[in-house]
Amino acid sequence: MDGEALQEIAHRRAEELPAAEATRPFGPEYDVFKVVGKMFLLFTEVRGEQIVVLKADPRDSEALRQAHRDITPGYHMNKRHWITLEPGGGLDAELVRELVTESYLLVVEKLPRAKRPVDPGTFGTRPSSPPAP
């Protein structure tokens, strides 16, 4: 997946998330998505390549970096809590969407309950079918 497709998939997913807003707090070269004022996604270019930077649980971050060559420590961010998705052949659209959602939920779960746009414990899960009679 090239950088343009990578950013497009992440951008579309972020737009679908409740209360997510696109901002440019660091200037025109950085697109940032926030939820209730807290950043969960950053788009930029490094050495001419479009990248995506996301929050990640530190344990997940390490495992993701070991499993995918296109996932590296967060560019200009805390290396334990952020990851960078780089263009290449190792990431698929479903993984990118999942990582954007996880980043969003990590931020939401730290918000005061009254400000959370979704319940991070149940967001995205489908209700179970009612029991058969």
Residue 122 lies in a domain: no
What average pLDDT does range 101-112 have in this prediction? 96
Residue 31 lies in a domain: yes
Q: Tell me the CA distances in angstroms from 58 to 3, 51, 125, one per residue in order.
A: 24, 20, 23
Residue 69 lies in a domain: yes
Separation of alpha carbons 11 and 97, rounded Å: 9
Least confident segment among 8-12, 61-65, 112-116: 61-65
- Return the CATH number at 59: 3.90.1150.30
Residue 16 lies in a domain: yes
Establish how many alpha carbons lie within 13 A of residue 54's alpha carbon, considering only the half-sphere containing its beta carbon. Answer: 30
The pLDDT of residue 82 is above 80: yes
* Parent domain of 81: 3-115
**Residues β-bridged to residue 51:** 44
Mean pLDDT of the chain: 90
What average pLDDT does range 45-68 have in this prediction? 92
What average pLDDT does range 56-72 have in this prediction? 92
The pLDDT of residue 19 is above 90: yes
Residue 30 lies in a domain: yes
Separation of alpha carbons 129 and 115, rounded Å: 29
Separation of alpha carbons 71 and 74, rounded Å: 9
Q: Count of domains in the chain?
A: 1
Residue 126 lies in a domain: no
* pTM higher than the cut 0.85: yes
Residue 92 lies in a domain: yes
Separation of alpha carbons 40 and 66, rounded Å: 22
Residue 130 lies in a domain: no
Q: Tally the residues of the chain.
A: 133
